[in-house]
């Protein structure tokens, strides 16, 4: 499922084989986000991770920073699919 732009944010849900895989994905995303100094709003329940991206400094709207992080997240997810 691709990213959807809704309510001034990019949204995407990810599903994994189990909790350990979901948590490993989140760990990789955390390091990538920290490196980019752009952090997601996210939640995790067992094997599901939901991510919302927008830029607080730009009035909580979607910017190129969000699109770049979304692209990076997609690359990380591709290794788990």
- 35-56 pLDDT, tens digit per residue, is 999 999 999 999 999 999 999 8
Both tokens of residue 44? 């995790």
Domain boundaries 10-78, corresponding CATH code: 3.30.1360.20
* Statement: residue 1 has pLDDT above 80: no
pTM for this predicted structure? 0.93
Beta bridge partners of 4: 11
Question: What is the tens place of the pLDDT at every residue in 56-70?
Answer: 888 888 999 999 999
Write down the domain spans for the chain. 10-78
Q: Are 33 and 40 in contact (CB under 8 A)?
A: yes
Residue 81 pLDDT level (bands cut at 50, 70, 90) = confident
3-state secondary structure of 63: coil
Question: What is the tens place of the pLDDT at every residue in 26-35?
Answer: 999 999 999 9
């Amino acid at each position: 499922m691709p990213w959807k732009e809704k309510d001034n944010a990019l949204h995407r849900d990810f599903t994994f084989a189990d909790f350990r895989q979901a948590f490993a994905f989140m760990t990789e995303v955390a390091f990538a986000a920290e490196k980019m100094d752009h952090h997601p709003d996210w939640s995790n329940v067992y094997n599901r991770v939901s991510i919302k991206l927008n830029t607080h400094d730009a009035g909580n709207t979607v910017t190129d920073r969000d699109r770049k992080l979304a692209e990076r997240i997609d690359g990380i997810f591709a290794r788990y699919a």
